[in-house]
Amino acid sequence: MSDTHTGVPSALEYELPRPVPADELAACPAGEVFRRVGDKWSVLLVVLLGGRPHRYNELHRAVEGISQRMLTRTLRGLEIDGLVRREVLPTVPPSVEYSLTPLGRSLLVPLSALADWAVRHEGDIRRARSDSTGR
Amino acid sequence: MSDTHTGVPSALEYELPRPVPADELAACPAGEVFRRVGDKWSVLLVVLLGGRPHRYNELHRAVEGISQRMLTRTLRGLEIDGLVRREVLPTVPPSVEYSLTPLGRSLLVPLSALADWAVRHEGDIRRARSDSTGR
DNA sequence: CAGCATCCTGATTGATACTG
DNA sequence: CAGTATCAATCAGGATGCTG
């Protein structure tokens, strides 16, 4: 890790963990992720599974508001992306347990930071909104 | 409340900055934010404006791929949420400069963390995807 | 230059019904 | 219990054309 990065002047009032690869972001890599983060269900499920593994209907009940279709779809997507692991338990009534993969757990970190920001600045946003409401 | 799950905080794997308020998240506060983050344009514009203030067509050129409609819409949304500031400069050909508000700049931090994660784990996701390609 | 209005398309989502 | 299948509605988003 070289210390001296690009000659970016310290014109930033807030410090950025990284210069933020705007190009990269525009390209695609982060785009995919932000897509996932975009839909409420994915984030919610990751967070939920971050606490504990859940079974299908357990998730259905926990979220309550999501349709089976979306629950399945979202879980599939997360599974495909390697964020969630799906394990079928050999019980008489079939049970399926969903859990976070290490990759999924690692996502939980920046996700938490964002969620934290959201909670912390919820008031600011609402105020800003009502300030220009009804126009 | 401390870490209530698996007893031993296995910091060996991944540590969570916060237990992540699943309830809060499900409620709405964060939901709004994740909505914003969801659409690629918002994030991209925030990142772009995070580097420097830009004028309308400047953004249009920078992003290049966004339609005027979406550019305007997204900027409006960000402005309403108090993340972006719109300043009309009294020039002969009207110029409008968009910049990040302090709130917007603060969002840049967790956003960068997420973008960083995305870039870092891009390969993992791609691998996971091609591994279970639904061909 | 900056921005709005209109039309149109495809992806996303929800409700419902059915199955192993 | 854990899904899949289908239909209809919604909506993000793009293209185009027109103002101040």
A34-38, A81-85, A111-115, B110-114: range with lowest mean pLDDT: A34-38
- The average pLDDT across B20-32 equals 59
Q: What is the pLDDT of residue A115?
A: 86
- Cβ(A17)–Cβ(B47) below 8 Å: no
Please tell me whether the overall predicted TM-score, pTM, comes out greater than 0.85 for this model: no
| Residue with more model confidence, A40 or B1 | A40
Q: What is the dihedral of CA A4, A5, A11, A13, to 10 degrees?
A: -90
pLDDT at B75 over 60: yes
**Distances B53 to A12, A25, B48, B49, B90 between C-alpha atoms, Å:** 12, 18, 8, 5, 17
Contact B14, A105 (CB under 8 A): yes
The model's confidence at residue B80, banded by pLDDT at 50, 70 and 90, is very high
A33-84, pLDDT tens digit by residue? 888 887 879 988 999 999 999 999 999 999 888 999 999 999 999 999 999 9
CA of B121 to C1' of C10 (A): 29
Q: CB distance B82–A13 less than 8 Å?
A: no
- Considering only the beta carbons, identify the residue of A20, A81, A132 that sits closest to B50: A20
Q: Which of A15-29, A81-95, A97-111, B47-61 has the lowest mean pLDDT?
A: A15-29
Q: What is the mean pLDDT of residues B64-74?
A: 93
B69 CB below 7 A from strand D atoms:
yes
Phi, psi of A71 (to 5 degrees): -60, -50
* B105 shares contact with chain A (CB less than 8 Å): yes
Dump the DSSP string for A95-109.
EEEEEE-HHHHHHHH
* 8 Å CB contact of B33 and A125: yes
pLDDT above 90 coverage of chain B, percent: 51
**What pLDDT score does A26 carry?**
52
Q: Which chain A residue shows the shortest CA-CA distance from B108?
A: A16
Give the number of other CB atoms < 10 A from CB of residue B37.
24
Give the pLDDT of residue A25.
Answer: 55
A19 or A99, which is more confident:
A99
A128 in contact with B, Cβ within 8 Å: yes
Task: Decide: A82 and A33 in contact? Cβ < 8 Å.
Answer: no
Q: Where does the pLDDT of residue A19 fall: very low under 50, low under 70, confident under 90, or very high at 90 and above?
A: very low
For residue A115, how many C-alpha atoms fall within 13 Å in the half-sphere facing its CB? Answer: 25
List the end-to-end C-alpha distance of chain A, in Å, as a whole number.
51
Q: What are the start-end ranges of the E strands in A1-135?
A: 54-55, 84-89, 95-100
**Cross-chain residue pair A121–B107, CB shorter than 8 Å:** yes
Among B80, B76, B72, B78, CA closest to B56: B72
CATH number assigned to the domain covering A17-133: 1.10.10.10
CA gap B117, B17 in Å, rounded: 15
Mean of the pLDDT values across residues B82-102? 95
pLDDT value at residue B134: 45
A81 touches strand C (CB under 7 A): no
Kindly list the domain boundaries of chain B, sorted by start residue. 17-133
Q: What is the DSSP letter of A89?
A: E
